[in-house]
Structure 1
Amino acid sequence: MTYIRFDGWLGHVENFFNMIAAFSILALMLLAVAQVIGRLLFNIPVPGFIDITEQAMAIFAFAGVAYCQRVGGHIRMEIVLGKLSGRTLYFCEMLGVLLVALTVALLIWGSLYHFERSLMIGDSTMDIRLATWPSKLVIPVALALLLLRLLMQVYGYARLVADPTREPVAVPLIADVEETARHEIEDALGEDAVKGDAG
């Protein structure tokens, strides 16, 4: 099925972007260590540390956003949704995701404008004159990936609205408290430890 294949392909791209975000955080942490050690021990700070940090923030703040949406990692208010089920739940989820998709589309338009403006005027940072357009390009690209994920979820929920007995594909599902706790324990201790306690 084309829908499932596209979901798999999109998942690989989201994983790649998420890894970029993770490595940018790691690189920034190592740079911060070098900054502290260099300043304290040798009185030689990393040149342009603030500029580099400012530009890197766009990467780790936005690159993983589509991955987070796919796995349902964003903060949600489930007071009402948690009490719904079946077609009503899927319809409300679809409506919410559709509103978010429209908002993200507007954000893409706005961020593209700022990227183009930065590129045209040759905007740069204050200290070491880093060009700002690469970090400003990250934002519309990451948001475009998020928009694709949201559209996939709108379609996935629309399938479930049409037939609630279908298997959910490409949509995050609400987990109850017990299931959430079990997943957190598995992440912390490993799946074998949980199975051993259950046995």
Structure 2
Amino acid sequence: MRWLDRLEEWIVIAMLVAMTGLTFVQVVLRYVFNSGFTWALELTTVFFAVMIFVGVAYGVRIGAHIGVDALLRLMPSGLKRGVSILVVLLCLVYAGIVIAGAWVYVSKMKMVGVELEDLPIPVWVVRAILPLGYALMAFRFGQVLWQLVTGKSDSLHLADEAAEAMKLKAEEAKA
């Protein structure tokens, strides 16, 4: 699955670069040449949506999402693992509900046949990122669940903002 890991990273990078580049060009055109693209904001929004929905799955994969885990940290390893499995299962249920609802929504948009306001792209094509992004996120939660069930991990890996802040403060003090 290394190819999927790299694909996620490249999509997030490409969307960020495309958003930044298009916004920069639009600002230069608007303030230097008193011109611009009517479709730039809409395309930037599309890039942002793709980046966010792929980025959510990426965040699950690398454990970058924040969570309230103070109680979890106090639990013994076996209980911690059990609670983590329950939490991941609930996340998978949530993802499944959103995927189902998004699928219905995208299907209706396809039936209606509406295009974006400023670009000749069907709305359903752009909104397809909803079920796709959540499906990718569900896949990543499935990987976390597998790690927990097989004993390769004993808890969810969440971002520890306090530890990161303390580390940053210590590095600043050294400088």
TM-score over 0.5 for the pair: yes
Question: Structure 1 residue 168 and structure 2 residue 153: aligned?
Answer: yes
Q: Secondary structure at the match of 2:147?
A: helix
Equivalent positions of 1:37-186 (< 5 A) are 37-160=28-151, 167-168=152-153, 172=157
Letter of the structure 1 residue corresponding to residue 15 of structure 2 = S
Decide whether aligned partners of structure 1 residues 90 and 176 sit closer, same or farther in structure 2, where only a CA change above 3 A counts: farther
For residues 46 and 84 of structure 2, the distance between their equivalents in structure 1, rounded to whole angstroms, comes to 34
| TM-score (structure 2 length as normaliser) | 0.83
Decide whether aligned partners of structure 1 residues 108 and 73 sit closer, same or farther in structure 2, where only a CA change above 3 A counts: same
Identity fraction in percent: 21
Aligned residues: 172
Q: For residue 18 of structure 1, report the CA deviation from its aligned partner.
A: 2.9
Deviations 1:135-189 (A, max 9, x none): 21122112111111212222321223xxxxxx4399637869558855x69xx9x
Decide whether aligned partners of structure 1 residues 131 and 88 sit closer, same or farther in structure 2, where only a CA change above 3 A counts: same
Decide whether aligned partners of structure 1 residues 56 and 132 sit closer, same or farther in structure 2, where only a CA change above 3 A counts: farther
Alpha-carbon RMSD across the aligned residues, in angstroms, is 2.8
Moved more, 147-156 or 87-96: 147-156
Q: Secondary structure at the match of 2:122?
A: coil
Q: For residue 130 of structure 1, report the CA deviation from its aligned partner.
A: 3.1
Q: Secondary structure at the match of 1:157?
A: helix
Q: For residue 54 of structure 1, report the CA deviation from its aligned partner.
A: 2.6
